[in-house]
Structure 1
């Protein structure tokens, strides 16, 4: 799946909104508008669905794809929700499946993000986290 069309539309929209000529680099403009790059926007959506699935705010067909890992012994990291990442048969499409990509992304989040209960607070903190990651702030 190619995101170039979406990325180009987003770039054009950013340039129109800010009246920036095409000779200028787009990254500072995206930062100024507080827009996430496409890759991070996709991760945001996947993680939002994951949060909703874990907290029973999503349809059961999504919740059924995720499994909370239960450690064999008590660890400091046991306090945060950790998901089991299933193995993939196909290297190309298997790793893109929600059942595999969602736990992988979720487990990469800092524990304080994974432990949040409020959807509103999670969305806000997640966007800030991804924004800092995207723009190395």
Structure 2
């Protein structure tokens, strides 16, 4: 396999290589220790192969659980540890959109903090269709 930028590879028009009297074809990708490398070293083939087998049902289940917990927290105000983490979005002025039922999205200090319930719940909740959100 030959690696390089698009410009370098466009100048390199070799399809096979002669090594120690044996002719070997030039490969477009190589799999080494479970990682697929391609000519541009951008891991596109490796990532697309992994994503193909990723269980998207688990992601849907997590979103459903977050939505259910958020709904239960607003209606029953319990569990209290979750109720303290989320708050409704309040406008400073009286607007038509002030009764939308959106949640306030706090600023995450890091990428890891953005995965917590207090950050994930508002994103999932605010993405719901308006007819499903209690006002």
TM-score (norm 2): 0.54
Residue 43 (structure 1) shift: 0.2
Report how many aligned residue pairs link the two structures.
Answer: 81
Is 1:90 matched with 2:110? yes
The residue aligned with 2:129 is 110
CA root-mean-square deviation:
2.1
Aligned pair partner of 1:51 in 61, 68, 71:
71
Question: Do the aligned partners of 1:69 and 1:82 also contact (CA within 8 Å) in 2?
Answer: yes
Residue 57 (structure 1) shift: 4.9
The residue aligned with 1:81 is 101
- Determine which structure has the larger strand proportion and give its number: 2
Distance in 2 between the 1:107 and 1:57 partners?
19
Distance 1:57 1:70, change over 3 A: closer
More contact order relative to length (CA 8 Å, sep ≥ 6): 1
For residues 11-30 of structure 1, the aligned pairs below 5 Å read: none
Give the unaligned 5+ runs of structure 2.
1-55
Bigger Cα displacement from structure 2, 69-78 vs 38-47: 69-78
Higher Cα Rg, which structure: 2
The residue aligned with 2:91 is 71
Instruction: Give structure 1 regions of 4+ aligned residues with deviation exceeding 3 angstroms.
Output: none
- Determine which structure has the larger helix proportion and give its number: 1
Give the unaligned 5+ runs of structure 1.
1-35, 117-137
Distance in 1 between the 2:113 and 2:121 partners?
12
